[in-house]
Structure 1
Amino acid sequence: MRERRPHLARFLLPFLLAFWPAWAQETVAASEPSAPTAPARAFDPQHTRFGFELRTRWGQRVTGQFPRYEGEVSTLADGRRRVRIVLRTDAVVVTGSDRYTALARGPSFFDAQRFPTIEFVSEPHADTLVRTGGRMRGRLSMHGVTRMETFTLSHADCEHPGRDCDVVATGSISRDDYGLDGWQFALADRVRFMLRVRLVESAP
């Protein structure tokens, strides 16, 4: 009778069981964003401004501001940056009109009672982006909907943007994508967000 050779799996299985957990942990860790390695820097309220702009069907411009906000810029372990911005819709102000301010906060538009904040969290990006300008993608959550959107940063006017000059960015979104369907008879679909940001200096 021919002797049966042990199956290769009998030798490989103990080896795989011994090393798979470590391999799996390394793989999961590599797929996760790097954790912050330095204290996050908050926005400087004396210089930072968050605004928006819409157009009416007749070409007129409607502008507004978000005077209440929070957020920070974090530095990750690999040197990249991540931006988080939270805007308070219950404090939004439409320039020059108390009536439009109330409508903007109301259920036909931002619906601040149900959705009191708008949040943007960027994908990790190179720290040089604020100097060179370019596209910054991230997750925008507004009116109960979350989507990926892109903001465009302008080329900086100084060597240290965020400290010596403003970081300027703009981005345009579709109201229809977020269910902001109020005033369709009067307002165009696109909402343009504008931001000018400086950061508080880190503690020594």
Structure 2
Amino acid sequence: MTTRSTNALGALMVSTALLLLISTSANAARYEIDPVATKTTYETKYLGFIPVRGVFTRMTGSLNYEPLKPATEREPSIHVIIDATTLTPSNFDSESKRRMLRGPEFFDVDRFPTIEFKSTRFRYEGEKLIAIDGNITLVGTTKPVTLTVMKSACEPVSSAKSARCTASTEVTVKRFEFGMKGWSGTVSDDVKIAVEIVALIVSDEKVAPSMMQTTTPARTSKENK
């Protein structure tokens, strides 16, 4: 092989490697949950028909997503941490109501200051994201749940500084299963948690490890009995 041929082959190999690297970087992206733009609410019923609503005003977490790949080739994941100590009733708000909901009969935030969700599977219909399976840790107990996704969208990764993913999700949990048995005769067992997620693209170095260290130890269902 001539020197010219060797140089041409080497240049081709370098170019191919660069193209593969660019392609991989474009397809895989890491996002950080925007704690200001993301909204988390809860709702249950009093006496079976009176809505009792509230909000959690702080949430952190991260998302790994590949918006440029077909749905069948993606390996996405999401990790969400809700600051339960920021619970604030939206109606019937009072200092006594906040203390009650944050207390041991309900969210018990002194012992369990976070609510955590870790995904195990993203479900699609074609290219449309319809649900996210995962595990929720609430009041120290972890159980499998499925988040329903009403709508979702990701901006192109090419606009790296402003690209973001958004999703409207909700899940209904049985609070008694998590040991939240206060006012069991008047307040519904069903609690709907809705999360309007806004996740901003970041570099790998900027995803703060501290976000993943604010979780609380999980109790097993057996320990709650």
Tell whether the structures are fold-level matches, with TM greater than 0.5: yes
**Distance in 2 of aligned mates of 1:64 and 1:173:** 15
Alignment partner, residue 35 of structure 2:
45
Aligned position for 2:77: 82
After superposing on structure 2, the runs of 4+ consecutive aligned residues of structure 1 that deviate more than 3 Å are 37-40, 158-166
Name the larger-Rg structure.
1
Any conservation in 2 of the 1:135–1:153 contact (CA below 8 Å)?
yes
1:117 corresponds in structure 2 to 114
Q: Partner letter of residue 115 of structure 2?
A: I
Counterpart CA distance in 1 for 2:46 and 2:137 is 24
Counterpart in the other structure of 2:183? 183
Q: Which ranges of structure 2 fall in alignment gaps of 5 or more residues?
A: 1-26, 67-72, 157-161, 205-225
Counterparts of 2:138 and 2:203, CA distance in 1: 33
Give the secondary structure class of the aligned counterpart of 1:201.
Answer: strand
Number of aligned positions between the proteins: 164
Distance 1:194 1:112, change over 3 A: same
Give the equivalent residue in structure 1 for 2:88.
Answer: 93
Asked if 2 retains the 8 angstrom alpha-carbon contact of 1:54 and 1:61, the reply is: yes
What is the distance in 1 between the residues matched to 2:51 and 2:201? 36
Once the two structures are superposed, residues 80-127 of structure 1 have per-residue CA deviations (whole angstroms, 9 ceiling, x without a partner) of: 11111111111211114123222111111001111111111011436x
1:124–1:66 distance in 2 versus 1, CA, 3 Å: same
Cα separation, partners in 2 of 1:163 and 1:53, compared to 1, 3 Å? farther
Q: Give the AA of the match of 1:147.
A: K
**TM superposition shift of 1:182:** 0.7
Could you list the per-position Cα deviations for residues 110-154 of structure 1 after superposition, in whole angstroms to 9, with x for gaps in the alignment? 01111111111011436x67x613121101111121110111001
Q: 1:191 to 1:163 in 2, by over 3 A?
A: farther
Larger strand proportion of the pair = 2
- Post-superposition offset of 1:164: 6.6
* TM-score (norm: length of structure 2): 0.64
Backbone CA RMSD of aligned residues: 2.8
**In structure 1, what is the equivalent of residue 51 of structure 2?**
61
Q: Decide whether aligned partners of structure 1 residues 200 and 112 sit closer, same or farther in structure 2, where only a CA change above 3 A counts.
A: same
For residue 13 of structure 1, what is the aligned residue in structure 2?
Answer: none
